Structure formats: structure tokens, C-alpha cells
């Protein structure tokens, strides 16, 4: 358990005071002889030899009172009977223009009120002015790391502002304290497909057929696929001779597609546009030659193919705005922190100290009048 005022534990040394007082009053006094003392006998003297039980309990109670008081003073002495400490309000804002414009009124009021506000990012950055927006928007996936850093072991009240267009596999977020969500569903801006972000482990072996009658187009496509495999780690099995018994994931051809197979995507180049072609047929009107194709001339054919694979094979999950119910299911208030549990425990410590004080006073009043222990 963390002590916010650990130096108060030096007060435990004061336990020596009731012990010293107890032994001081237990020491043997000077004997004064007078005539009647010899008739008292030794039985009376033996009856008072050693410590009496009530005095031992009294000494222990006083020691415990001192120790408990030092322990209580080592804690934050604020709002003892309130149950929990007041939670500090912290705003965490994604540097997204749509989010800022949608919640500008709330954010400006929070800044004017002196509440703490941070940009969402790999590490939280304090906001002094809303106009100083970072270049990078910040990822909602960093919310957990940001809140843990800002809480620093203490329960806080977080107000979270972010774009609710999150991937379906967004991890659960455990908030160290209370929270309020300000999630803006920006459907206008959809995250583009980024080829370099595709995990190589997600790329299974892809079976391909290069069914070109034009050797130049076959050579161009072979070179583009080889570059894509080398740079981005795609795994291709490429054939140039058609095997009617084999299933192909992709067929690249310069011939019109008469019949399609389920599970196969066709890329047709150098033919007139076919109206009513199935959705699995992708048409390029120009031939894949340097003099005829802009994709080949600008060396963007490998990149275009990579984005096509990502899109058609759903290798990159698109971010979809989540509903309020779905968002609330992703966020959960974490269990009481050590500090919060300590705050709940302190009123009981204070009650125990009061009860011990009453017990000590009661035992003191029960002592014989002549006993100064």
C-alpha cells in the first residue's frame, strides 16, 4: 500500500513513550518500615509481584493507539467520510479536424476552466491552444497507454474525444477511473488502404495464371509481381500454361473472359470494355506496355497490383464507425486502484482508532485509585 506521507511513520518511535511510562510506574519503591507491616505476611506481597493483567492490556492499547495514529497520518487526510477521493478531470483529444470542430465548444470551455487537456498520441502531449494541432492525428489504439500514463496510479475522470471509425478488432480499453466518451463518426473520411501496413503473416500463397497471348504484357506483369513479392513479401505461385484441373486465385489475361470460375479474380487488359461483366472481372482498357500504359510508364503497376490484392482479398480491415452500444462495449472501468482502495479503508482506520481510544479510557477508569500504571 502506497503512503503519500511516509515520513509520518517516524511517529512509530513514539510507541516507546507508553512503554517507558508503564515500566516507570512498575518500578519498586523505597520501603518504609513501621510496626504493623510485619503482621501483613508474605501472602500480600506475593499477590502484587509482577505485572497485573489490566495494566498490560492498557500498555498495549496505548502502543496501538500511537501506531495507528502514525499510520493514519501517513495517508492523504482528505474527504475521509466521502468514501472516495475526488477524481481529477482530464481530456484526451484526438488531433482530428472533424473531431475538433464537432466538440470545439466543449473543448474551449474546458481550456477556459483550467482543466487538463492532452493530445492523443504515442505519449500524451499537453494542450495549451486548440489551434496548435499536431501533424499526426494520433491513433485511438493509444488511448490505453495515454490514460495509464496520465492516471499514474490514481483514479481520474477521463473525457475521451476521438473518431469512432475503428477496426472491428479494436482491443478492449480499461479506464483507470470514470470516463465519458465523445466519439465522432466521421463517415466522410475513410482510411485509405496502405500496402506497407499489411502484415506479411496475413499473406497466404496466391495461385496465379498469366494467360497472355502477348509476350510483352506477360513479361511486364511477371516483373511487376516479382517486385511486389520482393518488397512486400507476397507469396505467389505463377504459371504461364493453363491447367484446366487446377484452381487459380487470379488470372491475368489479354483475352475476353467468356466464363468465370467461383473464387477466381480476372484482370483483363488491352480489350474493349465489356458491359455487364461479372464483378470478379477487372478491366484495363490499355495494354500493359511502356508506350500504351501510364501505370507501366510511371512504374506504378506493382503498387496498383498490391492495393488491388489488399482490397479484393480483404487483407486490411476497413475502419467502420461504431454505434454507441458497440463503443460502450469496448470501454470498461478498471477495478479500484490501490489508492482508491486505500481511500475506502481510511475511514475504518479512523473508526478503529476512536474505538481504541474509548477502550483505553475505560480501562484507565477501572484501575484502582492508588495505582498510577
- For every residue of 154-176, DSSP letters joined together read S-EEEEEEEE-EE-TTPPPEEES
pLDDT given for residue 31 in this prediction: 63
Tell me the whole-structure pTM to 2 decimals: 0.42
Residues 77 and 343: their CA atoms lie apart, in Å, by: 9
Residue 182's φ and ψ, nearest 5 degrees, are -120, 80
**122 and 134 Cβ atoms separated by less than 8 Å:** no
Q: Give Cβ neighbours of residue 360 (< 8 Å, ≥ 6 apart).
A: 58, 61, 62, 65
Q: Are 252 and 211 in contact (CB under 8 A)?
A: yes
| 3-state SS assignment for residue 101 | helix
Mind listing the domains of the chain with CATH numbers? 6-75+346-366 (no CATH), 88-191+319-335 (no CATH), 195-312 (3.40.50)
Which stretch of DSSP H or E encloses residue 182?
strand 177-184
* Burial annotation 6-19 (CB, 10 A radius, 16+ → b, else e): eebeebeeebeebe
CB neighbour list of residue 299: distance below 8 Å, 6 or more residues apart: none
Give residue-wise pLDDT tens across range 139-162.
Answer: 888 899 899 889 877 778 999 999
The conformation of residue 238, written as its DSSP 8-state character, comes to: E
Residue the block writes with cell 504484357: 217
In this predicted model, what pLDDT tens digit does every residue of 40-81 receive, in sequence order? Answer: 555 544 444 444 545 777 778 888 888 888 777 776 444 444
Q: Reduced to 3 states, what is the DSSP secondary structure of residue 121?
A: coil
For the chain, 373 residues long, give each residue's pLDDT as a single digit of tens: 555 566 677 777 877 887 777 777 665 556 666 666 556 555 544 444 444 545 777 778 888 888 888 777 776 444 444 444 446 899 999 988 888 889 999 999 999 999 999 999 888 999 988 888 887 777 888 899 899 889 877 778 999 999 888 876 788 898 888 899 998 876 554 444 455 555 544 557 889 999 999 999 999 999 999 998 888 778 899 999 999 899 999 999 999 888 899 989 999 998 777 777 788 899 888 899 988 888 899 888 988 888 888 777 766 555 667 778 888 888 988 754 444 555 566 777 788 888 888 888 887 787 665 555 5
pLDDT of amino acid 325 = 83
pLDDT for the residue 338: 46
Dihedral pair phi/psi, residue 24, rounded to 5°: -65, -45
Q: Which three cell numbers stand for residue 102?
A: 464537432
Q: Which of 152, 260, 168, 250 is nearest to 209 (CA)?
A: 250
Report pLDDT for 82: 42
Q: Give helix 53-73 / helix 16-26 axis angle, nearest 10°.
A: 160
Which cell numbers hold the place of 266? 480476372
Amino acid at each position: 500500500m502506497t503512503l503519500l506521507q511516509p515520513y509520518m511513520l517516524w511517529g512509530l518511535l513514539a510507541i516507546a513513550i507508553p512503554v517507558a511510562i508503564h515500566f516507570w510506574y512498575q518500578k519498586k519503591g523505597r520501603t518504609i518500615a513501621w510496626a504493623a507491616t510485619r503482621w501483613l505476611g508474605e501472602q500480600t506481597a506475593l499477590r502484587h509481584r509482577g505485572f497485573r493483567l489490566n495494566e498490560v492490556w492498557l500498555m498495549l492499547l496505548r502502543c496501538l493507539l500511537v501506531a495507528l495514529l502514525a499510520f493514519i497520518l501517513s495517508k492523504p487526510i482528505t474527504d475521509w467520510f466521502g468514501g472516495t477521493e475526488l477524481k481529477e478531470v482530464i481530456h484526451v483529444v484526438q488531433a482530428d479536424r472533424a473531431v475538433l470542430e464537432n466538440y470545439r465548444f466543449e473543448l474551449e470551455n474546458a481550456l477556459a476552466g483550467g482543466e487538463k487537456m492532452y493530445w492523443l498520441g504515442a505519449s500524451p502531449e499537453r494542450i495549451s491552444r486548440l489551434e496548435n494541432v499536431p501533424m499526426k492525428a494520433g491513433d485511438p489504439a493509444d488511448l490505453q497507454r495515454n490514460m495509464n500514463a496520465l492516471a499514474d496510479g490514481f483514479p481520474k475522470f477521463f473525457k475521451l474525444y476521438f473518431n469512432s471509425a475503428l477496426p472491428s478488432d479494436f482491443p478492449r480499453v480499461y479506464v483507470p477511473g470514470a470516463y465519458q466518451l465523445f466519439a465522432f463518426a466521421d463517415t466522410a473520411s475513410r482510411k485509405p488502404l496502405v500496402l506497407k501496413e499489411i502484415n506479411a503473416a496475413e499473406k497466404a500463397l496466391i495461385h496465379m495464371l498469366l494467360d497472355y497471348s502477348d509476350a510483352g504484357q506477360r513479361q511486364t506483369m511477371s516483373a511487376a509481381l516479382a517486385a511486389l513479392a520482393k518488397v512486400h513479401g507476397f507469396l505467389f505461385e505463377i504459371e504461364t500454361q493453363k491447367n484446366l484441373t487446377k484452381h487459380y486465385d487470379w488470372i491475368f489475361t489479354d483475352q475476353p473472359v467468356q466464363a468465370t470460375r467461383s473464387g477466381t479474380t480476372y484482370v483483363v487488359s488491352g480489350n474493349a470494355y465489356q458491359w455487364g461483366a461479372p464483378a470478379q472481372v477487372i478491366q484495363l482498357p490499355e495494354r500493359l506496355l511502356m508506350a500504351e500504359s501510364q501505370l507501366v510508364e510511371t512504374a506504378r503497376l506493382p503498387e496498383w497490383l498490391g492495393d488491388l490484392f489488399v482490397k479484393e482479398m480483404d487483407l486490411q480491415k476497413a475502419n467502420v464507425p461504431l454505434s454507441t452500444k458497440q463503443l460502450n462495449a469496448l470501454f470498461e472501468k478498471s477495478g479500484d486502484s490501490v489508492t482508491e482502495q486505500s481511500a475506502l479503508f481510511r475511514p475504518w482506520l479512523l473508526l478503529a482508532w476512536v474505538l481504541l481510544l474509548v477502550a483505553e479510557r475505560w480501562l484507565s477508569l477501572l484501575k484502582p485509585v492508588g495505582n498510577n500504571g
